[in-house]
Amino acid sequence: MGSVDKTLFLLSCSGDTLIVQIYADDIIFGGSSHALVSSFAEQMSREFKMSLMGELQFFLELQIKQGLEGTFIHQAKYTRDILKKFNMGDSKPMTTPMSTNTALDADEDGEAVDQKEFRWMIGSLLYLMATRPDIQFAVCLCARYQASPRTSHRQAVKRIFRYLKFTPELGFWYFSGSSLSLRGFSDADHAGCRIDRKSTSGTCQLLGTSLVSWSSRKQASVALSNTEAEYVAAASCYSQLLWMKATLSDFGLRFGRITLLVDSTSAISIAKNPILHSRTKHIDVRFHFLRDHYEKGDIDLIPVVSANQLQVEGVDNALIKGEIESQWTGLIALLV
């Protein structure tokens, strides 16, 4: 059993490894030996009433295509299904999920729309984000207004669907044989929320050249400066990297110093400076664990300019058409 993920089971036998992952009543398993995998399948069939679906091709609305060069994971069928469900199948395609000029707020004077339908649309898009980090910022921004949705909010959601009409088959291409270094990127949209002026943290975590984890989340407190917002985002990113490091250890993967690329030299300076100054002493103490791990030598903090940080911009801000096209062919998203 995995030390972190209790639904993960591993078996080593005569130099071969069997990996079993359980999700509710669904099981994914594979191994380095065909005989070991077949033996496990036969034993499970004898013990439980179950159906063997063969090679993994479809799992929880994820479509998986495996080949010698790598694995492609996407949700093209699910995308087309939700477009049809919300009568957006014949809509005009858009090249971006949200305009950079869009600034949503509560819009209290706007016309109210069906709350149930709006939440249904948001829920469908949230599930799609399992393979679509390019829509994460836009979806999470719209999701903030589920309590009292207005026409402007619904129009923003429909814009996302029109973007999906333009890009239904985007997904992740994971190359076989790629390196297994662990690193992360963090960024922040300072005071981006027009209602409470809280910032949004955007983080990405990569295993080698493959994006395996990402998030777009509004920070719990108001940041008094862009530096503070970036520092909080970096701490959030590193906490996820620590969890991934512990999880990957169950697979026999060991990592030394982890690289974290931060879009703020000032935030890096805070992490490297053990002295609390008047301008930083108000920051919640839980974020200072980043400084503690830096002093222990567990992490390398490297500044990165925004122009080279497109991989995380899509989860903390709206992207323009050229930036999205760059992501499609770039290092991080590996979207095809």
Q: What is the 3-state secondary structure (H, E, C) of the chain?
A: CCCCCCCEEEEEECCEEEEEEEECCEEEEEECCHHHHHHHHHHHHHHCCCCCCCCCCEECCEEEEECCCEEEEECHHHHHHHHHHCCCCCCCCCCCCCCCCCCCCCCCCCCECCHHHHHHHHHHHHHHCCCCHHHHHHHHHHHCCCCCCEHHHHHHHHHHHHHHHHCCCCEEEEECCCCCCEEEEEEEECCCCCCCCCCEEEEEEEECCEEEEEEEEECCCCCCCHHHHHHHHHHHHHHHHHHHHHHHHCCCCCCCCEEEEECCHHHHHHHHCCCCCCCCCCCCHHHHHHHHHHHHCCEEEEECCHHHCHHHHHHHCCCCHHHHHHHHHCCCCCEC
Categorize the per-residue pLDDT at 101 as very low, low, confident or very high, splitting at 50, 70 and 90. confident
Q: Please tell me the predicted confidence (pLDDT) of residue 333.
A: 34
Q: Please tell me the predicted confidence (pLDDT) of residue 313.
A: 57
- All structural domains of the chain, each given as residue ranges with its CATH number in brackets, are 8-54 (no CATH), 76-166 (no CATH), 179-329 (3.30.420.10)
The whole-number average pLDDT for the span 157-182 is: 91
Q: Please tell me the predicted confidence (pLDDT) of residue 306.
A: 59
Strands 70-74, 200-207: pairing is unpaired
The whole-number average pLDDT for the span 128-137 is: 92
Q: Which comes out higher in pLDDT, residue 205 or 101?
A: 205
* Residue 108 reports pLDDT greater than 60: yes
Which of 77-91, 173-187, 303-317 has the lowest average pLDDT? 303-317
At 258-311, the pLDDT tens digits run 999 998 999 999 898 866 666 777 788 888 889 899 999 999 999 986 555 555
Q: Please tell me the predicted confidence (pLDDT) of residue 331.
A: 35
Output the pTM of the full model.
0.86
Q: Which comes out higher in pLDDT, residue 164 or 24?
A: 164
* Residue 229 reports pLDDT greater than 90: yes
Categorize the per-residue pLDDT at 319 as very low, low, confident or very high, splitting at 50, 70 and 90. low
The whole-number average pLDDT for the span 33-61 is: 88
* Residue 127 reports pLDDT greater than 50: yes
Highest mean pLDDT among 36-50, 123-137, 174-188: 123-137
Q: Which comes out higher in pLDDT, residue 328 or 272?
A: 272
Percent of the chain past pLDDT 70, that is, above it, reads 89
Which of 170-179, 210-219, 236-245 has the lowest average pLDDT? 170-179
* Residue 176 reports pLDDT greater than 70: yes
Mean pLDDT of the chain: 87
Q: Please tell me the predicted confidence (pLDDT) of residue 315.
A: 61
Q: Please tell me the predicted confidence (pLDDT) of residue 32.
A: 86
The whole-number average pLDDT for the span 128-150 is: 94
Q: Please tell me the predicted confidence (pLDDT) of residue 276.
A: 61
